[in-house]
Amino acid sequence: MMPSEEFHPFAKIRDALSSLPGSNLDGEIRGGNFVVRVDNKNEWNTSESMGKLSEIFGALIMNEYDPERVRSPEEQMRFSFQDCDMVYVEACRGGIGAFCALERSTEDPSVAIIRDVISDPEARGLYFFKIFREICSDPSITTLVGTSDNPALIETVTHFGKRGGQEVSFADQGKEMPHIQKLLAINKRYLEKEGLLLEEIEPGIYVLPAKVLVPLSQEVIDKRIGRESANFGAFQRIVDLQANYSNGETVAGGLVMILRENDDYEDREEQKATGAVSA
């Protein structure tokens, strides 16, 4: 039996998400999972919208960032949500358990770029798993790309991909493969567009401002990443490279998760190569 509207456990969150300007709510997919789809970015990007986003997500977001690096509430909301196309939300009894804000690539709308993804640390792996389960069920998304040095996120995505048969690469993994190169290039151009890329050390390994990502430490590697992890070498390389940079700079890796084949993208690339369409 479905709970009545009066006693619906996530009614307050649902109503708040429904009120966001320039968007519509897909409704509750399953217990506590919501998707906000942006259909008018001019309305979504207003200060009014950023204020409402701060009311909903502010506590979770501000708790994630180092207080010395945190931006003003509106600046932080713009960093996380401006120009995004969809926000996947995992609600919990206490409020928002996790969210993932995605922006579709202008080069290929089936490629979704992770603008920001944050989870309550008390159940980080579980919430990340639920979020990515919903993202992977969207047939309009063939690929996710992003930049991170978060072990919980990378390990969850890797395990999720292994279970579902999806291809996942992190940092310098797969950089010699042409299709991974193309997707890393999309991610790099996104970082450049947002003014976040300080340096590309090599394809898939970037230097970003520390206000974007807190540098990964050897302590975290030793405590949270087992040597049997497929990502151990990549994480260790990031920590080793970090030693060459200041406290204001963070070395991070590009993340690529291929959910399903993208025949349209491959066709366009082949047409570009033969001169059938312009680049």
Give CATH 3.40.630 domain extents, the chain: 1-141
pTM of the model: 0.85
Low-confidence ranges of the chain (pLDDT < 70): 1-9, 27-31, 65-71, 94, 261-279
Residues 6+ positions from 202 with CB-CB distance below 8 Å: 172, 175
Please state, in angstroms and as integers, the Cα–Cα distance from residue 45 to each residue in 71, 112, 146, 189, following that order.
17, 19, 21, 21
Q: What angle do CA 149, 102, 132 make, to 5 degrees?
A: 70
Say what the pLDDT of residue 275 is.
43
Bridge partners of 169, per DSSP, are: 256
- Give 1-141's CATH code, choosing from 3.90.1310, 3.30.565, 3.30.420, 3.40.630: 3.40.630
Say what the pLDDT of residue 72 is.
75
For 142-164, what is each residue's pLDDT tens digit?
999 999 999 988 998 898 888 87
